[in-house]
């Protein structure tokens, strides 16, 4: 087994790494480095990571490390453009989830592989071409799953030899595989530069656990342990999501993340639509779709997205369905979708800042939200609480904002 601790010998003098370019090809030169004598906490085992790859890798590593610490379960995250498309812990998959995540042909997965299947599968459109973060040593099951997905790279604290061999064969040997030193801790003060000006702040080392959910301010005070875990998952995910952001979670995973919106209700709508799509994929109409032979995984995902959206009527009109399906699927009507979504229950929702209006709660309720964690502190808290009480939602005020930029 190749572990980060052993690899540390090879990176003691490696204080900087030259990159091909920065965020865009015109931004040169580019590098990452550590000041002082300390070496970089990573070792590149395959491929050549880029600037954005490493932003995703370091944010994702922090996220999964904290998920593992908070839950005791292996964790995985799927990152795109410095926000998670998905994050999850390693709970077993039922038959339906295995099918919608395209892993029903792989048998029983290891906990780590289950975590990545969940993280990748919740929003497969957004996860296409992701950078993967794993809390534990990458095993063969997880490597086999990664091998078949379109992805830019992976960071983990180590790799089983056979798993590393599988990953090194991806992209003709150019797949990016990074080993992270799990003992590495950054300095207490972090800095970045914008337009030549240096910004400095204390690192956000807030530990997120059940204690943040103790102050339940609604009439409904009941938050079961499973829901508390989902709320913690949502809050840890938000800690590494570009703000404004909200996160819907259920069953040990994020099912809808709304990131980087200027309006909070737009975050809630965006994430809610993603959560709805996650649940719609489990409807019999979608599970029974018969795809044309040889269609690729990404094309199946695209076809499902069109089928559960309003665009399907256009596809029927021009006959394009024949390129994707063996037979013409019946229309999944708006009424049928609403009836199916009415069965989505007990969803948890976290917000990185307070809800300023009750409209966020109204939208969240449409996606089955029963439990909420948010900082509180709005001048309209009473209105938000009243809206929760109208629907029997239990809401906790954490008192902690989780902005991330």
- And the tokens for 334? 């708006």
Among 80-84, 140-144, 145-149, 302-306, name the one with the lowest average pLDDT: 302-306
Partnered with residue 80 across adjacent β-strands are 83
Tell me what pLDDT residue 372 has: 98
**Bond before 405 cis per omega within 30 degrees:** no
Per-residue pLDDT reduced to its tens digit, 76-85: 999 999 999 9
Structure tokens given for 42: 């990573």
Q: Which is it for the CA torsion 252, 256, 257, 262, positive or negative?
A: negative
Q: Tell me, what's the pLDDT at 267?
A: 96
Would you say 140 and 160 are in contact if contact means Cβ atoms under 8 Å apart? Answer: yes
Q: What is the CB-side half-sphere exposure of residue 302 using CA atoms within 13 A?
A: 10
For the segment 26-38, what is each residue's pLDDT rounded down to a tens digit? 999 999 999 877 8
In this predicted structure, what is the pLDDT of residue 307? 92
**CATH architecture of the domain formed by 206-280+342-397:** 3-Layer(aba) Sandwich (3.40)
Spatial separation of the C-alpha atoms in residues 273 and 256, rounded to whole Å: 7
Backbone angles phi, psi at 319, to 5 degrees: 75, 10
| Same fold across 2-185 and 206-280+342-397 | yes
CA-based angle 267:268:270, to the nearest 5? 65
Q: To the nearest whole percent, how much of the chain has pLDDT over 90?
A: 86
Q: Is the pLDDT of residue 125 over 80?
A: yes
Three-state DSSP class for 75? strand
Per-residue pLDDT, averaged over 9-25, amounts to 77
**385 near 393, Cβ under 8 Å?**
no
Place of tokens 């999501």: 241
71-to-16, 325, 379 alpha-carbon distances in Å:
34, 41, 34
- Give yes or no for a contact between 376 and 354, defined as CB atoms under 8 angstroms apart: yes
**Cα-based distances in Å from 163 to 138, 150, 156, 170, 176:** 7, 17, 12, 11, 14
For the chain, the first-to-last Cα distance in angstroms comes to 36
Cβ-contact 246, 258 below 8 angstroms: yes
pLDDT(11) > 50: no
Query: Beta strands 189-194 and 197-202: pairing type?
Result: antiparallel
Superfamily of domain 2-185: AICAR transformylase, duplication domain (3.40.140.20)
> pTM of the predicted model, to two decimals?
0.94
pLDDT at 190 over 90: yes
Whether pLDDT at 114 is above 80: yes
Q: How many CB atoms lie within 10 A of CB 3?
A: 14
Assess contact for 355 and 264: CB atoms under 8 A.
yes
Helices 111-121 & 140-147, crossing angle to 10 degrees? 30
Maximum distance among all Cα pairs of the chain, rounded to whole angstroms:
65
> Is the model's pLDDT at 358 over the cut of 90?
yes
For residue 86 the two structure tokens come to 């998905």
Banded pLDDT at 4 (limits 50, 70, 90): very low
* Bridge partners (DSSP) listed for residue 369: 347
Q: What number of other Cβ atoms are within 10 A of residue 97's Cβ? A: 22
Structural domain spans, the chain: 2-185, 206-280+342-397, 288-331
Read off the DSSP letter of residue 173: G
Task: Supply the pLDDT for residue 294.
Answer: 87
Band (8; pLDDT cuts 50, 70, 90): very low
Return the H-helix or E-strand segment holding 275.
Answer: helix 264-280
DSSP line for 239-251: HTSPSSEEEEEET
Whether residue 371 contacts residue 223, with contact meaning beta carbons closer than 8 Å, is answered with yes
Residue 324, pLDDT score: 86
> In 10 A of CB 252, how many CB atoms?
22
Give CA–CA dist 204/170, Å, rounded: 35
What is the pLDDT confidence band of residue 9, given thresholds at 50, 70 and 90? very low
Q: Read off the pLDDT of each residue in 129-144 and give the average, rounded to a whole number.
A: 98
Question: Active-site residue numbers?
Answer: 80-81, 244, 405
């Amino acid at each position: 087994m190749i572990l980060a601790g052993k690899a540390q010998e090879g990176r003691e003098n490696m204080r900087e790494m030259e990159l091909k370019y920065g965020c865009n090809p015109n931004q040169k030169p580019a590098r990452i480095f550590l000041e002082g004598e300390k070496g970089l906490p990573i070792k590149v085992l395959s491929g050549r990571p880029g600037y954005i790859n490493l932003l995703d890798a370091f944010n994702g590593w922090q996220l999964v490390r904290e998920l593992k610490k908070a839950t005791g379960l292996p964790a995985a995250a799927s990152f795109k453009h410095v926000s998670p498309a998905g994050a999850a812990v390693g709970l077993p998959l039922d038959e339906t989830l295995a099918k919608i995540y395209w892993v029903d042909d792989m048998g029983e997965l290891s906990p780590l592989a289950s975590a990545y299947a969940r993280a990748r599968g919740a929003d497969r459109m957004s996860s296409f071409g992701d950078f993967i973060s794993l809390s534990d040593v990458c095993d063969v099951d997880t490597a086999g799953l990664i091998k078949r997905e379109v992805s830019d790279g992976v960071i983990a604290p180590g790799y089983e030899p056979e798993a590393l061999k599988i990953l090194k064969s991806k992209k003709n040997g150019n797949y990016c595989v990074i080993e992270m030193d799990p003992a590495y801790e950054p300095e207490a003060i972090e800095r970045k530069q914008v337009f030549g000006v240096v910004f400095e702040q204390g690192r956000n080392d807030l530990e997120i656990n059940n204690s943040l959910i103790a102050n339940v301010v609604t009439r409904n005070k009941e938050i079961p342990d499973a829901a508390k875990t989902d709320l913690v998952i949502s809050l840890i995910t938000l800690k590494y999501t570009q703000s404004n952001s909200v996160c819907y979670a259920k069953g040990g995973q994020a099912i809808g993340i709304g990131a980087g919106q200027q309006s909070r209700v737009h975050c809630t709508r965006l994430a809610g639509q993603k959560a709805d799509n996650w649940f719609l994929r489990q409807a019999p109409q979608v599970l029974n779709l018969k795809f044309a032979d040889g269609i690729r995984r990404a094309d199946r995902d695209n076809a499902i997205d069109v089928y559960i959206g309003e665009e399907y009527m256009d596809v029927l009109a021009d006959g394009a369905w024949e390129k994707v399906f063996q037979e013409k699927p019946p229309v999944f009507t708006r009424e049928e979708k609403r009836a199916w979504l009415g069965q989505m229950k007990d969803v948890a929702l976290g917000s990185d800042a307070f809800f300023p209006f009750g409209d966020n709660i109204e939208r969240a309720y449409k996606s089955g939200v029963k439990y909420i964690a948010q900082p509180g502190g709005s001048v309209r808290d009473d209105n938000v609480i009243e809206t929760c009480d109208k629907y029997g939602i239990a809401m906790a005020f954490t008192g902690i904002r989780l902005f991330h930029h």
